[in-house]
Amino acid sequence: MDPLDPELLDAALGLALATGNGDKEAVEVFLHASEPADLAVAGAQVIWRMAAALGRLVEPRRSAPQMIHVFAQALRERGDEFGGAPGGAS
Protein backbone atom coordinates (compact mmCIF):
# COMPACT_ATOMS: atom_id res chain seq x y z
CA MET A 1 0.00 0.00 0.00
CA ASP A 2 1.31 3.41 -0.95
CA PRO A 3 2.16 5.82 1.85
CA LEU A 4 -0.64 8.22 2.70
CA ASP A 5 -0.36 11.85 1.67
CA PRO A 6 -0.11 13.63 5.05
CA GLU A 7 -2.59 16.33 3.98
CA LEU A 8 -5.13 13.75 2.83
CA LEU A 9 -4.59 11.75 6.02
CA ASP A 10 -5.31 14.88 8.07
CA ALA A 11 -8.36 15.62 5.93
CA ALA A 12 -9.75 12.08 6.26
CA LEU A 13 -9.25 12.02 10.04
CA GLY A 14 -10.54 15.57 10.42
CA LEU A 15 -13.61 14.69 8.37
CA ALA A 16 -14.24 11.67 10.60
CA LEU A 17 -13.95 13.80 13.74
CA ALA A 18 -16.18 16.54 12.33
CA THR A 19 -18.77 13.99 11.25
CA GLY A 20 -18.69 12.25 14.63
CA ASN A 21 -19.16 15.57 16.41
CA GLY A 22 -21.99 16.64 14.10
CA ASP A 23 -20.07 19.72 12.92
CA LYS A 24 -21.69 20.25 9.53
CA GLU A 25 -19.69 23.39 8.78
CA ALA A 26 -16.38 21.59 9.32
CA VAL A 27 -17.58 18.66 7.21
CA GLU A 28 -18.30 21.08 4.36
CA VAL A 29 -14.82 22.61 4.70
CA PHE A 30 -13.14 19.19 4.47
CA LEU A 31 -15.32 18.14 1.53
CA HIS A 32 -14.58 21.32 -0.41
CA ALA A 33 -10.85 21.33 0.39
CA SER A 34 -10.10 17.92 -1.15
CA GLU A 35 -11.04 15.99 -4.25
CA PRO A 36 -13.82 13.56 -3.25
CA ALA A 37 -12.11 10.57 -4.88
CA ASP A 38 -8.81 11.31 -3.12
CA LEU A 39 -10.61 11.74 0.20
CA ALA A 40 -12.45 8.44 -0.31
CA VAL A 41 -9.21 6.55 -1.04
CA ALA A 42 -7.48 8.12 1.96
CA GLY A 43 -10.45 7.23 4.17
CA ALA A 44 -10.39 3.64 2.94
CA GLN A 45 -6.66 3.38 3.63
CA VAL A 46 -7.18 4.77 7.14
CA ILE A 47 -9.92 2.21 7.81
CA TRP A 48 -7.71 -0.62 6.51
CA ARG A 49 -4.73 0.41 8.62
CA MET A 50 -6.83 0.90 11.74
CA ALA A 51 -8.41 -2.51 11.22
CA ALA A 52 -4.98 -4.10 10.83
CA ALA A 53 -3.70 -2.37 13.98
CA LEU A 54 -6.74 -3.34 16.04
CA GLY A 55 -6.54 -6.91 14.75
CA ARG A 56 -3.11 -7.22 16.34
CA LEU A 57 -4.47 -6.12 19.72
CA VAL A 58 -7.15 -8.80 20.15
CA GLU A 59 -6.82 -12.47 21.03
CA PRO A 60 -6.90 -14.43 18.89
CA ARG A 61 -5.35 -12.03 16.40
CA ARG A 62 -7.52 -11.00 13.48
CA SER A 63 -6.74 -9.85 9.96
CA ALA A 64 -7.79 -6.45 8.63
CA PRO A 65 -10.66 -8.00 6.59
CA GLN A 66 -11.89 -9.85 9.70
CA MET A 67 -11.85 -6.64 11.73
CA ILE A 68 -13.66 -4.74 8.98
CA HIS A 69 -16.32 -7.46 9.08
CA VAL A 70 -16.61 -6.90 12.86
CA PHE A 71 -16.93 -3.14 12.26
CA ALA A 72 -19.65 -3.75 9.65
CA GLN A 73 -21.60 -5.97 12.04
CA ALA A 74 -21.32 -3.40 14.83
CA LEU A 75 -22.55 -0.63 12.53
CA ARG A 76 -25.62 -2.69 11.63
CA GLU A 77 -26.54 -3.41 15.27
CA ARG A 78 -28.47 -1.00 17.43
CA GLY A 79 -26.50 0.33 20.36
CA ASP A 80 -24.81 3.36 21.77
CA GLU A 81 -21.89 5.13 20.11
CA PHE A 82 -19.46 3.06 22.17
CA GLY A 83 -20.74 -0.27 20.88
CA GLY A 84 -22.76 -1.15 23.96
CA ALA A 85 -26.17 -2.73 24.03
CA PRO A 86 -29.32 -0.68 23.46
CA GLY A 87 -30.06 1.53 26.43
CA GLY A 88 -26.37 2.15 27.18
CA ALA A 89 -25.59 -1.11 29.00
CA SER A 90 -22.27 -2.61 27.99
Number of domains making up the chain: 1
User: pTM to 2 decimals?
Assistant: 0.74
Q: What is the CA radius of gyration of the chain?
A: 15
Altogether, the residues listed in the chain come to a count of 90
Q: Across residues 35-57, what is the average pLDDT?
A: 94
Is the model's pLDDT at 87 over the cut of 50? no
End-to-end CA distance of the chain: 36
Which pLDDT score, from 0 to 100, does residue 5 have?
Answer: 87
Could you tell me the residue range of the domain that residue 55 belongs to? 6-76
Q: Across residues 7-23, what is the average pLDDT?
A: 93
C-alpha distances (whole Å) from 84 to each of 21, 44, 61, 63, 75 are 19, 25, 22, 23, 11
- Average pLDDT score, the chain: 87
Assess if residue 59 is contained within a domain. Answer: yes
- Band of the pLDDT at 81, cuts 50, 70, 90? low
Assess if residue 58 is contained within a domain. Answer: yes
Helix axes 6-20, 36-55, angle to 10 degrees: 80
